[in-house]
Structures are given as C-alpha cells and as structure tokens.
Homo-oligomer: A and B are copies of this chain.
C-alpha cells in the first residue's frame, strides 16, 4: 500500500514563504520605480505595510542586497541602490561577457525544440510591439535572452543573468519609456538567433556584441538624458 508521496508533479506550494514573498514585493516596488534609488528602506515601515514582523523583512533585504538592488549601511539601514555611469558600463560589460558565452553554448546544445522556442519568442516580441506596454515589452525581451541562457544549460550562469536583468529592469523602469521602436527591437533579435542556428562561434559573438552594444548605447543615452535621477525621497 503506497501511502508515500502520490507522484503527481505538483510544485509544492510553499504557502508560508514569507521571506520570498517579501523579497518579491520589494523587488517589484524597486523596479517599478516606487522606492526610487537612494531612498531608505525602513524595516518597520515595510513590515507594517505587509502585515508581518521585521525579521522576514530583514532577511528579504539581505537577499536583495546580495542581488545588488539594495545596499546596506550598517546601523543606518538599507538603501535602494543608486546607479552611476560606471554601474551601467559594468552591468553591460558583464552581460556581454555572459551572453557571448551563453549563446555559443546554446548553439552547441540547440535542438529543434529549443530552436522553435527561440523563434516563437521573437514572434512574441513582434506581437508585443503593437501593444503599448513598455514593461511587458522589456519583460519579453529579457525572456528571449534568458531562454538562451537556459538552453546553454548552466544554472549558475542563468542565475547571474537573472541578477543582472533585475538590475537592468530597475534601470529601465526608471527610464520609464522604451529606448527604441518596438518592432525595431524585435527585429534586432533575429540576426542573433540566425547566428546561433548557423553555429559559427565567431559570428555568434559578433552578433551578440552588436545587439547588446546597441542596447547599451541606447540605455546610456537615455540615462544621460534624464540624469540626475528622479529625486530620492529619503
């Protein structure tokens, strides 16, 4: 008689993962631009607002700190990370480094299924282009790049990508509008996929470089436009 785990693959709903929930809420608030860069994150305030005690909030804050969204000043509290021009360079440099590698690996692992997923995602990008929803557009954009990292098959690399993406989401959220024509953005993904399908490492790297370099320049330009930052409501 099998009383043990009925083998239905239900992804164990962690009902009571307060820390995770708090972390998600905080992340959300940060990338959406509430809680602007430099603003202080008051533990008690967040706790009260979410109806929990300070302990889970502190742990969540530590998570976001390690993730780079918050910085901790001992005895003074957590603050939303502020971006300097250097930071943008750093993030895109690292992203370039990661995505080059990921794309080459993805090409090596590419199967008909994963290839179709990538193609489908570019279609989604085109479909999104008509909706006027920058946040969603950005999200689907990252999903394409994330897919490449997934296909590459290195879990640590995927997590690194996610961390970088959350910093970038914050940045883009601050900018508030899209840095280019949505259809244009969708189109610029096609050569990257083509290169991956072709499977020539050098060509892959070249196209990834071009694609990310483009995004970097656009973001850099827009950031310079709106700098200094939206006032940090301390």
- Interface of A with B (CB < 8 Å)? 14, 16-17, 19, 55, 58-59, 62-63, 66-68, 74-75, 90-91, 93-94, 96-98, 100-101, 105, 154-157, 160
Contacts and interface: CB of A to CB of B under 8 A. Distances in A.
* This chain's copy number in the assembly: 2
A74 B14 contact: yes
Nearest to A20: B74
21 contacts: A14-B75, A16-B75, A17-B74, A55-B55, A58-B59, A59-B62, A62-B62, A66-B66, A66-B67, A90-B154, A90-B155, A90-B156, A93-B105, A93-B154, A94-B156, A94-B160, A96-B101, A97-B97, A97-B100, A97-B101, A97-B157
B63 A66 contact: yes
Given A59-B58, A97-B98, A156 B66 contact: no
Given A17-B74, A62-B66, 11 more contacts: A19-B62, A58-B59, A62-B63, A63-B66, A66-B67, A68-B156, A90-B154, A90-B156, A93-B154, A93-B157, A97-B100
Contacts of A160: 94, 160
A154 B98 contact: no
Contact of A90 (B14, B90, B93, B157): B157
Contacts of A90: 154-157
Contacts of A59: 58-59, 62
